[in-house]
Chains A and B, each alone.
Chain A
Amino acid sequence: VSRAPRISLPALAGITMGLFAAAIVLVFYYAPVDPDQGLSQKIFFFHVPIALTAYACFGWGAWKALLHLWKRTPGSDLESYVAIHQGVIFGSLTLLTGSVWARISWGVWWVWSDDQLVLFLVLFLFYCAYFMLRYSVPPGVSRENMCAVYALFGVVLIPISFLAIRISRSIIHPEVFTRHGPQMTNGQFLTFCVCWLAMMFLFATLYMIELAGKRLDIQLRELRELLS
């Protein structure tokens, strides 16, 4: 059986570090300063890729949950849990960086009238509640099934949250990616792509580290039970 080539964890961490170094250089030395917003526009290069990575984490978690329910793939419940945990971390960073950007751009930390913000918060809180569910049910097949179903329900919110800017036609949260392409210069777009790639690699690295730790924990527990 041929297996897809897997990248080692140290190599993945190395690539992530390289991409982050490149992203920082591009953000502060290559991408032109926005004439409208000035330096604060550079928050965009981390804020938007973090938000997109959070969607990817939740999506990956839902995919693993589907695999658990559909094919009963061993370990997919744990993989789904770790992906959602990563999603919540990236989601918190999205909300925090977004708040800082809102403060400098709009003069407020939060706007309840903006659909994009509120829908992202709903998505974030929905997945926060996943942990409440997981830790309120004793471990076993029923917990795995319940968590998988919950993770799958949340995936519905992702396209709604993602398309909220287009749906609401908000003025304060402008639409950057339109049918005519990205509304930014080539330099800004290249910087954005590198930043997003860096964030996706960061997710992959943290996901693999956390997964390795969780698996080690389970194996240790089994070993302890065997020895006792």
Chain B
Amino acid sequence: VTPSEKYTAAAYLIVFVGVLAYVLIIASKLQRIQRQVAALVEQVREKDLHEPAAEGESG
């Protein structure tokens, strides 16, 4: 492998690794959002479960 080939491959690799790293960051962010949505759904379910009971007690 000549130095010219080595450096050209390195330059192209930098671009692809850079884009891949960005995709990885976005993917981890999406996972975090997914977890937050799941927690919110759980929160709403708990609220739904407790509210009818509270209404029953007052009525």
Asked if B29 and A202 sit within 8 Å, CB to CB, the answer is: no
Query: Can you report 20 residue pairs joining A to B where beta carbons are below 8 Å apart?
Result: A40-B8, A42-B8, A43-B12, A46-B15, A89-B22, A93-B14, A93-B18, A96-B14, A96-B18, A97-B14, A100-B7, A100-B10, A101-B7, A101-B11, A104-B7, A202-B19, A213-B29, A217-B33, A220-B33, A220-B36
Asked if B33 and A47 sit within 8 Å, CB to CB, the answer is: no
Asked if B43 and A227 sit within 8 Å, CB to CB, the answer is: yes
Asked if A210 and B7 sit within 8 Å, CB to CB, the answer is: no
With A42-B8, A100-B11 already in contact, 17 other A-B pairs whose C-beta atoms are closer than 8 Å: A40-B4, A40-B8, A46-B11, A46-B12, A46-B15, A47-B11, A50-B15, A89-B22, A92-B18, A93-B14, A96-B18, A101-B11, A202-B19, A210-B26, A213-B30, A227-B43, A227-B47
Task: Find chain A residues with CB under 8 A from B24 CB.
Answer: none
Asked if A89 and B10 sit within 8 Å, CB to CB, the answer is: no
- A56 → chain B closest CB, angstroms: 17
Q: Is B44 an interface residue (CB 8 A)?
A: yes
Asked if B8 and A209 sit within 8 Å, CB to CB, the answer is: no
6-42 of chain B: CB within 8 A of chain A: 7-8, 10-12, 14-15, 18-19, 22, 26, 29-30, 33, 36-37, 40
Main secondary structure of the interface of A (DSSP, over half): helix
Asked if B8 and A43 sit within 8 Å, CB to CB, the answer is: yes
Chain A residues packing against B (C-beta within 8 Å): 38-40, 42-43, 46-47, 50, 89, 92-93, 96-97, 100-101, 103-104, 202, 206, 209-210, 213, 216-217, 220, 223-224, 227
Asked if A104 and B26 sit within 8 Å, CB to CB, the answer is: no
CA distance A50 to B47 in the complex (A): 50
With A43-B11, A97-B11, A223-B40: A104-B3 Cβ-Cβ less than 8 Å:
yes
Closest to B13 in A: A100
- B27 → chain A closest CB, angstroms: 10
Task: Find chain A residues with CB under 8 A from B8 CB.
Answer: 39-40, 42-43, 104
